[in-house]
Chains A and B, each alone.
Chain A
């Protein structure tokens, strides 16, 4: 019997492990069931990548990366940390929409969004640990030496607190899976508090990630540098969250189709089109704010340069275009178009974060940074850990379908 449908407690812990961990199979059958292309690819990446991560901790940053004193931030910060935080924004965006704005029709996607957010932040934390090194020093900035004037201090605290909030928001699914009914029902009382804390913390740190780059006005290309950077980062994180939720939910509905078709039918097309309204409006506002940033920075004469072309690609191809596509998808009820716009949005935000933290940073330096193979492998490994964790959890816990014992409970 499947774990989520279980009502009565199994007789002993071996049975519990078999039902809840090995999906009702013997350990040998379970291992055989892992022989799928997706599992093999993830396994190979982990097999190659984890020794590299260990090597990085043993031999230091210089041994595995092409980073140096001029370019201390590279792929890990651009992709795993900055993009990861933005793409994990679906958690607070959807939770806020459902629990604070009362848009209950989006409730079927709250758990997948919160799970994506939680795992996204797990990857951010892993990426940061790999980038910073010496993890045993972590308590210093958090608890021992308060650098209250540093953006980094605010960022560290916000990310740490929000990660805890996300774990708390996802805990009900874990408790339902474990069959701890009393604790689960008790936790339901704190849902709204957790959601509000999550929205507040996200607002703070999504924007402070942008504030971080206010410190480098001479290093960041003028087209990307703007005093509005915190607003850019916050606003674009909402768009990224919406894009990622649409993208992730359509992928999950394909990948976990067998599981979903047995659950209560979810009007995914309706949800997708509804979300695309939000995506259109947020990206529209973000586009104009970016234009305002260029005018305020007096840097539009740089639009004709090579970096200008990159900037225009980001602005027109990955902000304005998806905004218009979302609008058409919402107006004409085209869920497929909304999904395409969501992919463009997600790519656009990743491009923006990579631009700000890598390509447009030290843009005029004589020796440009190019990530090493080890850096790319490490990034892939961190992403593979997230994908594997997502699959493991969704296959066991009530994420995409509601647990029948807890219908209608937050």
Chain B
């Protein structure tokens, strides 16, 4: 150990205690500062739940016909197609959206998408009046799958009717599990490798064709307009 040129032993000990006390005093506000994080940007909420094939942002509500709804603070809801549906169908070639001012009914076809010359209806997750449509989606439908819960919203509605219908939508862990179950139900073990992207992980884009090259159209329809959802609609009508 070196000699203490400037300080006597007592003064040096005092300096050591002082630094220790200073550390503790500063550590508390520092720790609080570090722990009190600012809220995360909304678009970065993509991985709030652990595990599974799909992630669903916390503010997204899913319908069993794979349309999602996200409500803004002004009460207007954005509607889009979930990640499962985008991966199932692959790049979209054309979108037909409802007119601004028209009304959409929960469980009734609200828009149509075209993939490889086949047309599919997508059911509305809510009742409401259309306030806006996404023109970028009309111009560049093939890019919709890149950001399914963000820039790929399709139209906006001012929701109408009973709020109870919102409760039937799935969110958080339930929504994630719904997508995982839907994927796994479609996936017999011997067909798994084809439906998955290389190196495993997420289902490959357009995996409906991998699962059933000849009957993929029916498979997509069964997912986007499931029997029980159509019946719901018919009952309400």
Determine the chain B residues whose CB is within 8 A of the CB of A281 once the complex forms.
30-31, 34
Number of contacting residues on A, CB 8 A? 53
* Cα-based distance from A332 to B39 in the complex (angstroms): 8
Determine the chain B residues whose CB is within 8 A of the CB of A327 once the complex forms.
30, 33-34
Interface segment among B132-140, B163-171, B190-198, B212-220: the answer is B190-198
Q: Are B40 and A333 in contact (CB under 8 A)?
A: yes
Q: Does B162 contact A (CB under 8 A)?
A: no
* Cα-based distance from A70 to B160 in the complex (angstroms): 85
* Cα-based distance from A1 to B193 in the complex (angstroms): 8
Listed residue (B2, B38, B199) with the most chain A CB atoms within 10 angstroms of its CB? B199
Q: Does B173 contact A (CB under 8 A)?
A: no
Q: Are A267 and B199 in contact (CB under 8 A)?
A: no
For the complex, would chain B's binding face be called helix, strand, loop or mixed by DSSP majority?
loop
Q: Does A105 contact B (CB under 8 A)?
A: yes
**Residue of chain A at shortest CB distance from B35:** A277
Q: Does A210 contact B (CB under 8 A)?
A: no
Q: Are B50 and A107 in contact (CB under 8 A)?
A: yes
* Cα-based distance from A217 to B199 in the complex (angstroms): 53
1/0 per residue A268-293: CB within 8 Å of B?
01100100010011001100100110
Chain A positions 5-44 with a Cβ under 8 Å from a chain B Cβ? 5-8
Q: A105-B50, A404-B192 are in contact. Are A263 and B202 (CB under 8 A)?
A: yes
Q: Are B199 and A401 in contact (CB under 8 A)?
A: yes
Q: Are B199 and A262 in contact (CB under 8 A)?
A: yes
- Whole-angstrom distance between the Cβ of A175 and the nearest chain B Cβ: 15
Q: Does A4 contact B (CB under 8 A)?
A: yes
Q: Does A266 contact B (CB under 8 A)?
A: yes
* Cα-based distance from A296 to B7 in the complex (angstroms): 11
- Whole-angstrom distance between the Cβ of B117 and the nearest chain A Cβ: 27
Chain B positions 1-55 with a Cβ under 8 Å from a chain A Cβ? 1-7, 12, 15-16, 19-20, 22-23, 26-27, 30-31, 33-41, 44, 46-48, 50-53, 55
* Cα-based distance from A405 to B44 in the complex (angstroms): 28
Q: Are B202 and A331 in contact (CB under 8 A)?
A: no
* Cα-based distance from A266 to B46 in the complex (angstroms): 9
Q: Are B19 and A291 in contact (CB under 8 A)?
A: yes
Q: Are A265 and B46 in contact (CB under 8 A)?
A: yes
Q: Are B7 and A5 in contact (CB under 8 A)?
A: no
Determine the chain A residues whose CB is within 8 A of the CB of B20 once the complex forms.
292
Q: Are A330 and B50 in contact (CB under 8 A)?
A: no
* Cα-based distance from A404 to B190 in the complex (angstroms): 13
Q: A270-B40, A281-B31, A295-B16 are in contact. Are A222 and B50 (CB under 8 A)?
A: no
1/0 per residue A315-352: CB within 8 Å of B?
00000000000110011110000000000000000000
Q: Are B2 and A298 in contact (CB under 8 A)?
A: yes
**Residue of chain A at shortest CB distance from B205:** A262
For A292, give its contact among B16, B30, B41 (CB under 8 Å).
Answer: B16
Q: Are A298 and B199 in contact (CB under 8 A)?
A: no
Q: Does A402 contact B (CB under 8 A)?
A: yes
For A265, give its contact among B2, B19, B55 (CB under 8 Å).
Answer: B55
Determine the chain A residues whose CB is within 8 A of the CB of B16 once the complex forms.
292, 295-296
1/0 per residue A248-268: CB within 8 Å of B?
000000000001001111110
* Cα-based distance from A288 to B27 in the complex (angstroms): 10
Q: Does B161 contact A (CB under 8 A)?
A: no
Q: Are A298 and B47 in contact (CB under 8 A)?
A: no
- Whole-angstrom distance between the Cβ of B187 and the nearest chain A Cβ: 10
* Cα-based distance from A266 to B37 in the complex (angstroms): 20
Q: Does B75 contact A (CB under 8 A)?
A: no
Determine the chain B residues whose CB is within 8 A of the CB of A263 once the complex forms.
197, 199-202
Determine the chain A residues whose CB is within 8 A of the CB of B185 once the complex forms.
none
Q: Does B189 contact A (CB under 8 A)?
A: yes
**Residue of chain A at shortest CB distance from B22:** A288
Q: Are A267 and B46 in contact (CB under 8 A)?
A: yes
* Cα-based distance from A270 to B40 in the complex (angstroms): 9
* Cα-based distance from A195 to B193 in the complex (angstroms): 32
Determine the chain A residues whose CB is within 8 A of the CB of B193 once the complex forms.
1, 5-8
Q: Are B38 and A331 in contact (CB under 8 A)?
A: yes
Q: Are A408 and B19 in contact (CB under 8 A)?
A: no
* Cα-based distance from A187 to B103 in the complex (angstroms): 58
Determine the chain B residues whose CB is within 8 A of the CB of A273 once the complex forms.
37
Q: Does A179 contact B (CB under 8 A)?
A: no
* Cα-based distance from A402 to B196 in the complex (angstroms): 12
* Cα-based distance from A340 to B5 in the complex (angstroms): 39
* Cα-based distance from A217 to B189 in the complex (angstroms): 65
Determine the chain A residues whose CB is within 8 A of the CB of B19 once the complex forms.
288, 291-292, 295
Q: Does A2 contact B (CB under 8 A)?
A: yes
Q: Are B38 and A264 in contact (CB under 8 A)?
A: no
**Residue of chain A at shortest CB distance from B44:** A269
- Whole-angstrom distance between the Cβ of B125 and the nearest chain A Cβ: 23
Determine the chain A residues whose CB is within 8 A of the CB of B6 once the complex forms.
298, 300-301
* Cα-based distance from A259 to B198 in the complex (angstroms): 8
Q: Does A104 contact B (CB under 8 A)?
A: yes
Q: 7 A-B pairs, CB-CB below 8 angstroms?
A: A5-B193, A107-B50, A277-B37, A295-B15, A298-B5, A301-B5, A330-B34
Chain B residues within CB distance 8 Å of chain A: 1-7, 12, 15-16, 19-20, 22-23, 26-27, 30-31, 33-41, 44, 46-48, 50-53, 55, 189-190, 192-193, 196-202, 204
Q: Which 10 A-B pairs have the closest CB atoms?
A: A263-B201, A267-B47, A298-B4, A262-B197, A2-B198, A288-B23, A404-B200, A401-B201, A4-B199, A222-B2
Q: List 5 extra interface pairs beyond A4-B200, A104-B50, CB under 8 A.
A: A1-B198, A5-B199, A7-B192, A288-B19, A331-B38
